[in-house]
Structure 1
Amino acid sequence: MIPQVDPRASYREDKALLDAAVLRVLDSGMYIMGQEVEAFEAEFAAWIGARHGIAVANGTQAVEIALRSVGVGAGDLVLTVSHTAVATAAAIRACGAEPVWVDVADGHFTMDVGLLDETAATLRAGPDGARLKAVVAVHLYGAMVEPGPLLEVCRRHELKLVEDCAQAHGAAWDGKRAGSFGDASAFSFYPTKNLGALGDGGMVCTSDDAAAELARLIRQYGWKERYISAIEGINSRLDPVQAAILRIGLVRLEERNQRRRAIAALYDAGLTGGAITTPAVPAPLTHAYHQYVVRTTDRDGLAARLRAEGVGTGIHYPVPVHAQPAYLGRFDRHCRTLRNTEAVAADILSLPMYPQLTHDDARRVTDLIRKFQGA
């Protein structure tokens, strides 16, 4: 069996180090926050290229806290995509804000920045213009929204930029890493991520001192001093066991991302010339390949054939957020089009992708796909 993802493989690879790290924390007697968390915050922020890292309980709350740290609150409008994990929208709603859907670019999986510009301009000129506050740019599958045009649109329309980097650990544009461009960024350490915990976890990164201070207050009840809440906050703390595990993973992250890129190169080569559309990677992008996502008109048939041959696949994501029951019809008033989003949802398929996937197994996947297509 070739699974679509295999988080246990990273544990097996580093078992001795990880077991020792967990025992170190257990022996320390410090089980909430503490030096292990502070060390990981500093190391991760430095790796990303930000001045501050604020560790939190999960990626969804990382987006929420990042938004709140740049001033997003009740009644505000936040521009984002519907082709994303529902966590993005859930975080916006947790702030009391409302999402405004922007379509993905034709032939890509990330936000259409030209359409973002048009939507923001229309909103600013209308009765809801004062409510428009921020953009959540989702860097998806290990790819990025092109930062130059994105930043220019945000500046022109006076929008705060939060990067949702849950799937972009180690992605870069012209050598500068995802998470270092915006006013704040949010990362998830869910076990299947490029940098995954053995549980849940998240991080807010920023180079804005005021945003960092506010994020630290929000994550722990608004405390400036223990038991005294200066503002309304939440309980969103990364525990030191996960921090110790993530510190080990961070050391291995670039090596493992390189393995992902090697697997992607095998997929690219093996699928060239077929009826499947492989990921487009512009020259300035260093792709992190959280997922390797193809497009095919017979997605369900291909997935069934691969499953019958012992190969796992996934769909990230089968139903866009705007079409899900909890969100259907609620936030469409300012949306211009979601044509590309809906097309993508109908034909995407995630192939097996994790650093320990062997090259032989990757070639087996491409051979089975070509056989299915009659190539």
Structure 2
Amino acid sequence: MHAVTRAQPVPFLDLSTQYKSLETEWLAAIRETGARGSFILGPHTQAFEKEFAEYVGVKHAIAVANGTDSLYLSLRALGVGKGDEVITTPFTFFASAETIDMVGATPVFVDILPDSFCLDPASVRAKITAKTKAIVPVHIFGHPSEMGEIMEIAKKHKLAVVEDCAQSFGALHNGKVVGALGDTGSFSFYPTKVLGCYGDGGMVTTNSDAVNEHIRRLRNHGAVKPFLHTEIGMNSRLDEVQAAVLRLKLKRIKDDIAGRQKVAAEYTKRFAGSPVKTPALPKHGTHVFNLYTVRIPKRDAVRQALTDAQIGTSQCYPQGLHLQEVYKHLNYKPGSLPVCEHACTETLSLPVYPGMPPEHIERVCEVLLAAIKG
């Protein structure tokens, strides 16, 4: 081990370096916003929606308060509600399933593919019933789902598709950006995301004029005009300060994604020939590495060794959603979704972010490989 790297802490994520590079422009945008006195659904938000839609390749992008709201509003606008079933993955953040309950429907969990950790289309087919109304594929960790097969299934059974793109902004599938493949795309701008703001934020993308108009009403209390309401909506609006920083970041996003991919490629090269199973690359697209998630033997012991060495990691996800206490009433049992359950015992996410120093990558690899051998 190189002496220069031996005792150096490695953060799981470093947002401060990127902030410093944006600080002058962002603070200028805040001053301009303050001087104008427009803070909610103002010109920055409107411009960001247009720029975002253009980047993703869709007709409409609707800015909302957070990623969870973007899922909920998508399901609402697509008519999913009480008595409906929605097929999704158990290997994801809770919001992907929680929002299905929030609209009154029932989540139906199906198994995942062992390499990509995304929905297994064969498992989706097996769980379709007369009550199935929609599918929520999650492009997990930055790897696009098998959208070709999923859209074929949806078309055959007349199902809506809500892409959960929270971890995958900028990923490609068959030449299209995720969020442009389903009926809607749902994005989170939580600070840790590929495109993240300095607070909370979200976006819905769609090519449907009707869905666009409906979500714009729903995000603003169901209002068709000021003080005139046609349905129960909610307050879910992106503020101008967050829109301003997201516009700045969107201009640089290709470099940021390339930076993540460069770190991932370096990890993968260094782990070649070891017991570490590195992330699969999409056959028909690109991975944006919101997280660099490996599968390793003795995962818990290895993670502890990394923690002891002051190296940040994350365990995404320790337990499948189908086995969580909140979904006990759905009667899933251990062993019911074996690929997901096995992944939960082996997966570990390592530090990855644009501009991560090479010596940090080296230190992560050294400590992890030594822990596996030990």
TM-score by length of 1: 0.94
Compute the displacement of 1:69 (Å).
1.4
Question: 1:73-92 residue pairs with structure 2 within 5 A?
Answer: 73-92=81-100
Question: 1:263-342 residue pairs with structure 2 within 5 A?
Answer: 263-330=263-330, 332=332, 337-342=336-341
Question: 1:206-217 residue pairs with structure 2 within 5 A?
Answer: 206-217=206-217
CA contact (8 A) 1:4 1:351 kept: yes
* Alignment partners' CA distance in 1, 2:177 and 2:113: 21
CA contact (8 A) 2:297 2:372 kept: no
CA contact (8 A) 1:72 1:95 kept: yes
The residue type equivalent to 2:372 in the other structure is Q
- Alignment CA distance shift 1:24-1:7 (3 Å): same
Stretch moving more, 160-169 or 3-12: 3-12
Compute the displacement of 1:331 (Å).
6.3
* Alignment partners' CA distance in 2, 1:342 and 1:150: 22
Question: 1:1-375 residue pairs with structure 2 within 5 A?
Answer: 1-120=9-128, 123=129, 129=130, 131-330=131-330, 332=332, 337-374=336-373
* Alignment partners' CA distance in 2, 1:258 and 1:354: 10
* Alignment partners' CA distance in 2, 1:301 and 1:332: 29
Compute the displacement of 1:336 (Å).
10
Q: What residue number does 2:4 align with?
A: none
CA contact (8 A) 1:102 1:337 kept: no
Compute the displacement of 1:61 (Å).
0.5
Compute the displacement of 1:254 (Å).
1.1
The residue type equivalent to 1:61 in the other structure is D
Q: How many residues align?
A: 366
The residue type equivalent to 1:100 in the other structure is V
* Alignment partners' CA distance in 2, 1:5 and 1:28: 34
Q: What residue number does 1:126 align with?
A: none
CA contact (8 A) 2:30 2:244 kept: yes
The residue type equivalent to 1:147 in the other structure is M
* Alignment partners' CA distance in 1, 2:331 and 2:96: 14
Secondary structure in 2 aligned to 1:14?
helix
* Alignment partners' CA distance in 1, 2:225 and 2:149: 41
Stretch moving more, 52-61 or 337-346: 337-346
The residue type equivalent to 1:201 in the other structure is G
Secondary structure in 2 aligned to 1:89?
helix
Secondary structure in 2 aligned to 1:79?
strand
* Alignment partners' CA distance in 1, 2:292 and 2:346: 14
* Alignment partners' CA distance in 2, 1:8 and 1:329: 43
* Alignment partners' CA distance in 2, 1:322 and 1:22: 43
Compute the displacement of 1:355 (Å).
0.8
* Alignment partners' CA distance in 2, 1:336 and 1:181: 32
Secondary structure in 2 aligned to 1:36?
helix
CA contact (8 A) 1:99 1:331 kept: no
Question: What percentage of residue pairs aligned between the two structures are identical?
Answer: 38
Task: Show CA shifts across 1:79-115 (max 9, x none).
Answer: 0011100011111111111100011013331000111
Compute the displacement of 1:367 (Å).
2.0
* Alignment partners' CA distance in 2, 1:66 and 1:283: 28
CA contact (8 A) 2:323 2:332 kept: no
* Alignment partners' CA distance in 1, 2:50 and 2:67: 18
Secondary structure in 2 aligned to 1:232?
coil
Task: Show CA shifts across 1:148-198 (max 9, x none).
Answer: 111101111111000000001010012211100000110000000010010
CA contact (8 A) 1:76 1:97 kept: yes
The residue type equivalent to 1:25 in the other structure is T
Compute the displacement of 1:142 (Å).
0.3
Compute the displacement of 1:332 (Å).
4.2
* Alignment partners' CA distance in 2, 1:15 and 1:325: 43
The residue type equivalent to 1:346 in the other structure is T
Secondary structure in 2 aligned to 1:329?
helix
Task: Show CA shifts across 1:98-147 (max 9, x none).
Answer: 10001101333100011111211xx1xxxxx1x21100010000001121
CA contact (8 A) 1:322 1:329 kept: no
Provide runs of 4+ in structure 1 moved above 4 Å: none
Stretch moving more, 44-53 or 18-27: 18-27
Stretch moving more, 134-143 or 90-99: 90-99
The residue type equivalent to 1:44 in the other structure is F
Unaligned runs of 5+ in 1: 124-128
Compute the displacement of 1:43 (Å).
0.5
Compute the displacement of 1:217 (Å).
0.8
* Alignment partners' CA distance in 2, 1:12 and 1:75: 49
Stretch moving more, 351-360 or 288-297: 351-360
CA contact (8 A) 2:81 2:105 kept: yes
The residue type equivalent to 1:215 in the other structure is I
Compute the displacement of 1:57 (Å).
0.4
